[in-house]
Amino acid sequence: MNKYSISEFIKKSEQKEKGEGFFELETPRMLEVNLNGQVWAKAGSMVAYEGHIKFEREGILEQGIGALFKKAISGEGASLMKANGQGKLYLADGGKKVIILHLNNESISVNGNDLLAFTPSIHHEIKLMRKVAGMMSGGLFNIRCSGVGLVAITAHYEALTLRVTPGKPVITDPNATVAWSGNLEPQFQTDISLKTFIGRGSGESIQMRFEGDGFVIVQPYEEVYMQAQS
């Protein structure tokens, strides 16, 4: 058979049953949700589905006054939708790699732009990083996920996890920071000399500082977030 034939392409790329459960990595950059009920997902992340599934955008008041502020300044970085029904749902986000994590009475904070999906058993809370609001136009929100269940996050290229231990803080670029353990509270700092060296008004001049005992996930890419248009 010709290796470039349509039938050969279909054979190599078609969906395959892996039997991995509710969340399944169909490809490194595509999440399959074997839906029988409800799942939360990033708004706009649906690329295809089979079966009977209805989508509902998260109500603006479901997260309280913080969500109203979010809508005003942060664009779509932390917008969620509910998918209800039965079938197969395929989610992706800009070709980023998908990471599936199982929380067992644990918590993780995820940059609002890097959270792809989570099961309804997971408690989620959108948090505004107030101290950095005046410094940068995007990446202002993170979503804290906790409890027991599955969480799918995304990262550009291969993610790197850095351990944070007492007395050895980790400093990161906010635009390259994907997630961190829920017990850590990042502090923001500026480096004027680095800002001058880089020669731009944001990015490395603003840093996230993690202290304590936990971990930080970073990506080899600086994601720049679009600000909402009025």
Task: List, for residues 128-181, the tens digit of each pLDDT value.
Answer: 776 555 555 445 688 999 999 999 999 999 999 999 999 999 999 888 999 999
In this prediction, residue 57 carries a pLDDT of: 83
Whether residue 112 contacts residue 143, with contact meaning beta carbons closer than 8 Å, is answered with yes
In single-letter form, the type of residue at position 106 comes to: E
Query: Could you give the CA distance from residue 176 to residue 106 in angstroms, rounded to a whole number?
Result: 23
In this prediction, residue 229 carries a pLDDT of: 35
What's 191's DSSP letter?
-
**Cβ partners under 8 Å of residue 1, min gap 6:** 7, 8
In this prediction, residue 223 carries a pLDDT of: 78
In this prediction, residue 140 carries a pLDDT of: 67
In this prediction, residue 104 carries a pLDDT of: 96
Here the tokens at position 154 are 């995304």
Q: Which residues of the chain have pLDDT under 50?
A: 60-61, 65, 68-77, 137-138, 199-203, 226-230
How long, in residues, is the chain?
230
In this prediction, residue 151 carries a pLDDT of: 97
Query: Could you give the CA distance from residue 55 to residue 38 in angstroms, rounded to a whole number?
Result: 10
Decide which of 3.10.150.10, 3.60.160.10, 3.30.310.50, 3.40.50.1970 is the CATH code for 18-218: 3.60.160.10
In this prediction, residue 68 carries a pLDDT of: 45
185: helix, strand or coil = coil
From residue 1, alpha-carbon distances to 10, 14, 16, 134, 172 in Å are: 13, 17, 21, 60, 51
61: helix, strand or coil = coil
